[in-house]
Amino acid sequence: MNTQHSINVGGLSFEWDLENGKFLFEGQESVLFWTSTAMKMLFDTIEEIAGEDAAGVVMETTGYRQGMVVGSYFSEMEDVDVAQAAALITNTYASAGWGVAEIHNLDVDDSTLEVHLKNSWEHKINVAQQKTTGGNFLPAHYAGIFTELFEKNIWYEVVHYQIDGFNESIIRYFPSEKTIEENIHRLARASEAREIRQLEKLVEEKTSELTMLIKELSSPIIPVLEGIVVVPLLGTYDEERSEELMIKTLQNLPTYKAKYLVLDLTGLNSNFNRQAAALIEKLGATAGLIGTETILVGISPKMSMVIGESGIDILKFNCFQTLQHGIHYALAQNGRSIL
């Protein structure tokens, strides 16, 4: 059984070595894939893993660099100029199933040209993927080819894609300082910016959660016995926190049917100032308007000095050294005690 086969199509050789499982195109080992199934699956998988933006840069970079290899091969041929190399390339690609490629408006002096692509393998894959825009592998591929042929950096601009409803894709090529490396860096910067935005969003969400938690834990209202609630004051109270304390306390006093509000000032020892003293006076006075008597506990000598210097009258409230004394006093007013 003959396992060696070869044919010549358009001046190009195709060889099969079935015994060794080889397929050669122009003497080079090659591989055949079904376009709308196997190749589509490859493209779909790359996009699924890397994301569509990253996949686009990968395909563009790969196409460009492969093009440079092809361009280098043809540029090294003896007695072959750019126009002849371009003709050889398009014939070679048509024989290999890459679709019809035609070179238009080639200007060797200006290093410009147009490539018209029709029914390329990339177009067929994009159709199978149900894409609404064409890919950038082949546009970048020809940019790489002519970068080598013109011996200067060539970039591209897509006039339109065949998938847009045109008879063919048209791509213009011209000298440019733009490089494939810039696109890689741009993707990296965009990815970094997305990660920063996600991090900022996460920080914002966690900060909001922490703020809410602090609000819940800050100056909690503790119903210790019937008709008696305790509010421990902790830390420093700015305008916003003072307002929250006022609203939260006054809204909950009727809920607990509180006759006595015990403000524990022990946690204010290191942060007690005129503003804190004014807050206590205002809170106690407002609570009195809805029938709740305020009792102050945990007043230190330092607090006494600040209160005396501030001129704020909080002596109208009953004051005790410890929380225990304050609760015993409130109970005693109702004729009760703790045994």
Q: Identify the top-confidence range among 42-46, 193-197, 285-289.
A: 285-289
Quick one: pLDDT at residue 262? 93
Quick one: pLDDT at residue 161? 96
Quick one: pLDDT at residue 175? 94
**Going by DSSP bridges, is the β-strand pair 112-118/100-107 parallel, antiparallel, or unpaired?**
antiparallel
Quick one: pLDDT at residue 138? 93
pLDDT higher than 70, residue 188: no
pLDDT higher than 80, residue 6: yes
* Length of the chain (residues): 339
Least confident of 111-115, 208-212, 265-269, 297-301: 208-212
Quick one: pLDDT at residue 96? 84
Q: What is the pLDDT of residues 9-28, one digit of tens each?
A: 878 888 998 888 888 888 88
Q: What fold, for 222-333?
A: Transcription Regulator spoIIAA (3.30.750)
Mean pLDDT of 308-312: 77
Query: What residue ranges do the domains of the chain occupy?
Result: 33-178, 222-333
Per-chain mean pLDDT for the chain: 85
Q: What is the pLDDT of residues 144-179, one digit of tens each?
A: 999 999 999 999 999 999 999 999 999 999 999 887
**Model confidence band, residue 338 (pLDDT cutoffs 50, 70, 90):** low
Whole-number Å distance between alpha carbons of 213 and 295: 27
State what percent of residues in the chain have pLDDT above 70: 90
Phi and psi torsions of 275, nearest 5°: -65, -40
**CA–CA distance from 21 to each of 29, 179, 266, 294 (Å)?**
10, 39, 86, 94
Least confident of 113-122, 215-224, 329-338: 215-224
The CATH number, out of the four listed (3.40.50.920, 3.30.1380.20, 3.60.21.10, 3.10.129.10), of the domain defined by the range 33-178: 3.30.1380.20
Quick one: pLDDT at residue 184? 66
In this structure, how many other beta carbons lie within 10 angstroms of the beta carbon of residue 199?
10
In this structure, how many other beta carbons lie within 10 angstroms of the beta carbon of residue 145?
29
**Going by DSSP bridges, is the β-strand pair 293-297/318-320 parallel, antiparallel, or unpaired?**
parallel
**Model confidence band, residue 235 (pLDDT cutoffs 50, 70, 90):** confident
Contact criterion met (CB below 8 Å) for 294 and 314:
no
Mean pLDDT of 228-234: 89
pLDDT higher than 60, residue 187: no
Mean pLDDT of 302-319: 80
Quick one: pLDDT at residue 53? 80
pLDDT higher than 60, residue 56: yes
Quick one: pLDDT at residue 194? 66
